[in-house]
Amino acid sequence: DVKVTQSSRYLVKRTGEKVFLECVQDMDHENMFWYRQDPGLGLRLIYFSYDVKMKEKGDIPEGYSVSREKKERFSLILESASTNQTSMYLCASGNREGTEAFFGQGTRLTVV
């Protein structure tokens, strides 16, 4: 069974903290994605990686960075968490051909 696993289901952090959201896939996919989803705004792409150490900005990269040191792992980093980064974060992986993407269960992050 294909798997995209996000490290936490729920997370509460304080304003100004550095936050790491981890995502691991076991399908040997080249592409990995980080989205955030907010009510009324749908899924918005934060960052996209198409290979190890390669990344591209999505629609809303401000306040975020990413790391992909190994093919199976894609990390989203909030350098200094702010309350407007409270959201549901979704990781996904897909093959290079883009035939199908698989999503993790999501991390609901609350910044207080």
Partner 1 sequence: LAKTTQPISMDSYEGQEVNITCSHNNIATNDYITWYQQFPSQGPRFIIQGYKTKVTNEVASLFIPADRKSSTLSLPRVSLSDTAVYYCLVGDIGGYNKLIFGAGTRLAVHP
Q: Is 72 a binder of partner 1 (CB under 8 A)?
A: no
Taking CB under 8 A as the binding criterion, the range among 13-21, 65-73, 79-87, 103-111 that sits at the site for partner 1 is 103-111
Binding to partner 1 by residue 22, rule CB under 8 A? no
| 49 residue type, one letter | S
Q: Is residue 96 a contact partner of residue 82, using CB atoms and an 8 Å limit? A: no
Please report how close the Cβ of residue 40 comes to partner 1 at its closest, in angstroms: 9
| 38 lines the binding site for partner 1 (CB under 8 A) | no
Is residue 66 near partner 1 by the rule CB under 8 A? no
Segments of 1-112 assigned E as strands: 4-6, 10-13, 19-25, 31-38, 42-51, 54-57, 64-70, 73-78, 87-94, 101-103, 107-111
Among 7, 8, 13, 50, binds partner 1 (CB under 8 A): 50
**Which range binds partner 1 by CB under 8 A, 14-22, 63-71, 73-81, 93-101?**
93-101
Nearer of residues 65 and 82 to partner 1, judged by Cβ: 65
Name which of 21, 22, 36, 14 is nearest 82 in CA terms. Answer: 14
Q: How far is the CB of 48 from partner 1 (least distance, A)?
A: 5
Q: Please name which of 29, 40, 102, 32 lies closest in space to residue 68, comparing C-alpha atoms.
A: 32
